[in-house]
């Protein structure tokens, strides 16, 4: 019986299932000789096709190449180990409290690097409507202000953004949502993600954005030993106070985190935001096919609990 893999494998493996091929010696692949497979086993301990696909050295090479070339020019999604972590999310704990969380449009998990190259962990509070549409954190106007903040540090890509909550909350941080953040499955799972971020990346610092994020990181045992800098939320209403706070954070972070090789350290903020202080969300952070204008400006508004209005840049 022919399979869609037959053109990728040697004739002796024709008709094998995907599971059988994943467990096969790499010599099953067309163009890989038995001698090549022996060398893979000797050098990297690779004796199966699935081990070849998951090899950490190949992943490292791919991460370096992506940074050097800018390709792919979109977020390809979480690698298998992160997909498994996200699939383990305690969604039922959120869904059991529709009075606390807006659950209609599902969870939002991350934005940024999941390839082991993040030097800055940014922790926010919860996703809003622009984030729900992109399924990535910090995409709307607050995210674009935050992107400009990172740009002033010379950080263009070496960050990972996670949130206190996977779902949007009703109102502000406090009360029932704060209690769920402090204990139980929401807290336990979030700490698993934080531990994975710290364990698989060379973190130089953690930035907490807003009170909910600061509380979440304060409760995370794994934060010990990683420098932390707290900043006011980008939507803080007093802009002068916000930018004064952010200038202090830039000074603190500037001695902790080196710029990316394609980044340039910017000047501090003035008394108000100017156009150069706000940056669009890089396409490498967003799924393929998302309109080019999403992540530049504000295009979404909530219209009731179960309706989001999404407006193009021409509206």
63-114: per-residue pLDDT in tens? Answer: 999 999 999 999 999 999 999 999 999 999 999 999 999 999 999 999 999 9
Residue 126 has pLDDT above 90, yes or no: yes
Distance CA 106, CA 289 (A): 20
Residue 215 has pLDDT above 60, yes or no: yes
Stated pTM of the model: 0.94
Q: Residues 165-202: pLDDT tens digits?
A: 999 999 999 999 999 999 999 999 999 999 999 999 99
Q: What is the DSSP letter of 101?
A: E
Q: Residues 217-270: pLDDT tens digits?
A: 999 999 998 999 999 999 999 999 999 999 999 999 999 999 999 999 999 999
Looking at the chain, list the stretches that DSSP marks H as alpha helix, in order from N- to C-terminal side: 18-22, 34-44, 49-53, 56-69, 80-87, 91-95, 129-134, 141-152, 176-182, 185-200, 211-218, 239-254
Determine if residue 302 is left, alpha or beta; phi over 0 gives left, psi from -120 to 50 gives alpha, anything else beta: beta
Within a 13 Å sphere around the CA of 119, how many CA atoms are in the beta-carbon half? 16
Q: Are 135 and 45 in contact (CB under 8 A)?
A: no
Domain edges within the chain:
6-53, 78-310
Residue 9's alpha-carbon distances to 25, 33, 40, in angstroms, are 11, 11, 17
Which of 154, 152, 178, 148 minimizes the C-alpha distance to 165?
178
The CATH architecture of the domain made up of 78-310 is 3-Layer(aba) Sandwich (3.40)
Distance CA 162, CA 165 (A): 9
Residue 2's alpha-carbon distances to 11, 13, 16, 26, in angstroms, are 11, 10, 8, 20
């Amino acid at each position: 019986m022919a399979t869609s893999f037959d053109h990728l494998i040697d004739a002796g493996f024709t008709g094998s299932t995907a599971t059988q091929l994943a467990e096969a010696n790499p010599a099953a692949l067309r163009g890989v000789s038995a001698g090549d497979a022996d060398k893979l086993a000797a050098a990297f301990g690779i004796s199966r096709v699935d081990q070849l696909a998951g090899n950490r050295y190949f992943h490292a090479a791919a991460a370096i190449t992506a940074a050097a070339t800018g390709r792919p020019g979109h977020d390809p999604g979480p690698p298998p180990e992160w997909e498994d972590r996200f699939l383990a999310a305690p969604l039922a704990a959120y869904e059991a409290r529709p009075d606390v969380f807006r659950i209609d449009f599902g969870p939002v998990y991350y934005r940024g690097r999941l390839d082991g190259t993040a030097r800055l962990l940014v922790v926010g509070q919860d996703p809003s409507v622009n984030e729900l549409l992109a399924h990535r954190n910090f995409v709307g106007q607050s995210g674009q202000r935050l992107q400009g903040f990172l740009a002033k540090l010379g950080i263009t890509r070496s960050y990972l953004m996670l949130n206190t909550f996977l779902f949007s909350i009703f109102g502000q941080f406090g009360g029932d949502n704060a209690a769920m953040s402090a204990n139980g499955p929401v807290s336990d799972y979030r700490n698993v993600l934080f531990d994975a971020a710290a364990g698989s990346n060379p973190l130089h610092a953690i930035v907490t954005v807003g009170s909910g994020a600061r509380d979440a990181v304060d409760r995370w045992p794994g934060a010990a030993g990683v420098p932390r800098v707290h900043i006011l939320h980008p939507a803080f209403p007093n802009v002068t106070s916000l930018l004064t706070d952010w200038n202090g954070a830039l000074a603190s972070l500037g001695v902790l985190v080196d710029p990316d090789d394609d980044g340039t350290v910017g000047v501090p903020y003035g008394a108000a935001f100017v156009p150069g202080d706000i940056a669009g969300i890089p396409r490498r952070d967003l799924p393929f096919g998302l309109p080019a204008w999403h992540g530049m400006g504000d295009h979404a508004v909530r219209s009731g609990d179960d309706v989001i209005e999404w407006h193009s840049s021409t509206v």
